Amino acid sequence: MGSDANRLRRKWQDYGGQKAEKAEHSFFETFLTLFKDSNYNIRRSVTEFRDLYVNVELSEQELSEIYTPNESITKHGVNPDYAISNTETNKTIYVEVKRQDGWVEGKTRADGRGNAHERSCKFFTPGLQNKLRIQGNLAENVIPFWVVFIGDITRDPCRVREVKLWYEGIPEHYFMWRDQNKPELLIEHFLNYIKPLID
């Protein structure tokens, strides 16, 4: 493990205790704290893909078969929740944080019917992965995204099995943050699996 990973780990441990408890245990606040005075940063309002679909070229045949509105389409894209970058390597990985209800104690199976986890699967598509890799300055073999699940979905017996199967072979690209009172678990996952992708 690189020394900067150990430095970040020690930094979080120093920050721990009373201050960590006041960090709201949100994804953004956790990483904002972790990355302070380092060569890593996190940003929300990821806008570099907001027009991604606008310039997708269609053949004349396709254009003749679809609706063509009178007004121009100027906004049509993807907005990941966060981007985590290493300012020394100029590499970025894109992050989705998905909160979803789920089937847990005291609830019915129908309470797990949301589809936020399914919507995150768009990041598996070859075209979108290619665009994320290029923008993130990542190697061709790097999966350019990380999904963090929070809420009851992380304990739903059906949804957890779905996610586990979807990510078979690449489990490091998702994290079930079951206890948001333990940001150290999220940080460990980042340091072990995600940080090396942008170093």
Domains defined along the chain, listed by start = 3-198 (3.40.580.10)
Fill in the amino acid letter for 92: T
Distances (CA, A) of 23 to 1, 177, 193: 26, 16, 23
Q: Which tens digits make up the pLDDT trace of 51-67?
A: 999 989 999 999 999 99
Sorting pLDDT into bands at 50, 70 and 90, what band is 45? Answer: confident
Q: Per DSSP, what are the bridge partners of residue 149?
A: 98, 176
Condensed to tens digits (0 to 9), the pLDDT of residues 109-138 reads 888 888 888 988 999 999 999 999 999 999
Query: What are the tens digits of pLDDT across the range 65-87?
Result: 999 999 999 999 999 999 999 99
Q: Cα separation of 83 and 6, whole Å?
A: 22
Our CA dihedral for 9, 29, 180, 187, rounded to 10 degrees, sits at -20
Q: How far apart are CA 115 and CA 124, in angstroms?
A: 16
Q: Please, are residues 117 and 153 in contact by the beta-carbon 8 Å criterion?
A: yes
Does the reported pTM lie above 0.85? yes
Burial (CB count within 10 angstroms: exposed 0-12, middle 13-18, buried 19+), residue 161: exposed
How far is residue 136's CA from residue 61's CA, in Å, rounded to a whole number? 33
Pairing of strands 145-150, 174-176: parallel
- Which residue type, as a one-letter code, is found at position 186? L
